[in-house]
Amino acid sequence: MSPTATDVDVWFTEHLHLEDDTLRAARERAGGAGLPDIAVAPAQGAFLATLARLAGARRVLEVGTLGGYSTIWLARAVGARGLVTTLEIDPHHAEVARSCVDQAGVGDRVEIVLGPALETLPTVAGPLDLVFVDADKENNAGYVRAALPLCRPGALVVVDNVVRGGRVADPGDDSPTVRGVREVVELVAADPRLEGATALQVVDRKGWDGVLLATVTG
């Protein structure tokens, strides 16, 4: 039998040592607490951390905390003097995430803000070096629009789950999540404050999806 995308994802995770015991424990703790298994895969977490380091990020905004798995990757990347502000609407998710980031030893550089992100996002202090949007897809454009004034020139904006198993390109699919993805793509393409936009398709243990990336011009 030919290897599957999951097999390849696991192979790279193991051979590149992408997930250490701390990250594995955070993922398992979130699962044990009943959180959905929708966190980024280890390879994508490493990709996010690499982007943050390449951007020299010290202030990161994450929209959608879940159990704090991607938060840990980003918190490690910003270093001891950095700060990751992560917005979460679900109190249980926020509680689990706080436990996970504290157990990972990065709790002092993580601020978890509870409440609807469109309401709490304007209270976030900038300037931001990187924005990672991974929450409800229906509000993708709203999150990016609200984050842009907080970003410094050269900041990176990353929006997760934009391929939706190919559904984004299906003209017959008008579901709310797909509409949300199309709206943020249209925003990124049209907004003069953003440049260098691209989308990368990703196939891993989570299936077929991808990320949208753009740079803030100022």
- pLDDT tens digits for 82-140? 999 999 999 999 999 999 999 999 999 999 999 999 999 999 998 999 999 999 999 99
**In terms of DSSP bridges, do strands 207-216 and 128-133 run parallel, antiparallel, or are they unpaired?**
unpaired
pTM recorded for the entire structure: 0.96
Q: Does position 218 have pLDDT exceeding 80, yes or no? A: no
Domain count, the chain: 1
Range of the domain at 36: 5-216
Phi-psi region of 33 (alpha: psi -120 to 50; beta: other; left: phi over 0): alpha
pLDDT tens by residue, 33-63: 999 999 999 999 999 999 999 999 999 999 9
Please name the residue that has the structure tokens 């992100």: 117
Residue 205 scores a pLDDT above 90: no
- For the segment 146-178, what is each residue's pLDDT rounded down to a tens digit? 999 999 999 999 999 999 999 999 999 999 999
CA distances from 140 to 29, 48, 64, 131, 169 (A): 28, 18, 11, 12, 17
Burial (Cβ within 10 Å: 0-12, 13-18, ≥19) of residue 16: exposed
Contact 77, 54 (CB under 8 A): no
Instruction: Tell me the CATH number at 109.
Output: 3.40.50.150
